[in-house]
Structure 1
Amino acid sequence: MKINHLCYLLLLLALVGSLQFPHPLWMWLLSVNLLTFLVYGADKLAACKGWQRVPEITLLLFGVVGGWIGGMLAQQLFRHKTQKQPFVTRFIFSVVLNLLAILAAGYWFYGRMVV
């Protein structure tokens, strides 16, 4: 199994698992951030050992779906992907994209109730 497929499988399991809790959104955010942190750590280890790496698009997707806090912490703790400027720019874009999605969802679900 490719490492990329494993990452997406773990993401799917986190989604299914978070739906089993009374507060699925909070559980999703906790699990996706923890998973993102672990995937960044695994990618740093793979980079040091010369193993198969996690594609950058997968790392960025984890940020888009809510794992950007775990990604930021892992970048600083592991000193991983902090010097590669194209990745840093794309990572910031993924954070902004996630925040815009949260704001749009908040407006869609809660802002329309008030009007």
Structure 2
Amino acid sequence: MNFKYLSYLLLIAAAAGSACFPHPFVMWFLIVNLLTLVFYGVDKRAACHSTSRVPEFTLLLLGFAGGWIGAIFGQQLFRHKTKKQPFKTWFAISVIVNLVVVAGVSWLMKDLFL
């Protein structure tokens, strides 16, 4: 199974599905965080059984897309990706970039909601 393409497909489905709810941004973050948590579990299971792994780029992309809270829970729950230093650095950068983008978009759109 190619996890990269599956994650892209699921992100598109999450975006389309979240648009159907009254608060699409809240639903987006809930869905993406749940999806990220599941992918961390799948990757941990694959690591234990020496099968096809979820690429680190895909895990970082899910975190950047807003699933970093699910990634943190997945790291702690599954004890996965907690010690690999290059990944931890890129993960921290993706969280910071996500927070800056969300804050910037919120600031730019604040006049639309007032």
TM-score range, shorter chain: over 0.9
Question: TM-score when scaled to structure 2?
Answer: 0.94
Question: TM-score when scaled to structure 1?
Answer: 0.93
State how 1:31-50 maps to structure 2 within 5 Å: 31-50=31-50
Q: Distance in 1 between matches of 2:102 and 2:85?
A: 26
Residue 72 (structure 2) pairs with residue 68 (structure 1)? no
User: Residue type matched to 1:50 in 2?
Assistant: S
Percent of residue pairs identical: 53
Q: Distance in 2 between matches of 1:79 and 1:21?
A: 33
Residue 113 of structure 1 deviates from its aligned partner by: 7.9
Q: Which runs of 5+ in 1 are unaligned?
A: none
Residue 6 of structure 1 deviates from its aligned partner by: 0.9
Distance 1:74 1:25, change over 3 A: same
What does the per-residue CA deviation read over 1:4-52, in whole Å, with 9 as the maximum and x for residues that have no partner? 1111111111111101101100000100000000001000001111111
Distance 1:15 1:85, change over 3 A: same
The residue number in structure 2 matching 1:14 is 14
Q: Which runs of 5+ in 2 are unaligned?
A: none
Q: Segments of 4+ in structure 1 off by > 2 A?
A: 111-114
Q: Distance in 1 between matches of 2:83 and 2:3?
A: 23
The residue number in structure 2 matching 1:56 is 56
Q: Distance in 2 between matches of 1:9 and 1:112?
A: 30
Moved more, 66-75 or 5-14: 5-14
Q: Distance in 1 between matches of 2:110 and 2:23?
A: 17
Count how many residue pairs are aligned between Structure 1 and Structure 2.
114
Q: Distance in 1 between matches of 2:14 and 2:23?
A: 14
What does the per-residue CA deviation read over 1:35-86, in whole Å, with 9 as the maximum and x for residues that have no partner? 0000010000011111111111110011111000000000011010001000
Moved more, 2-11 or 76-85: 2-11
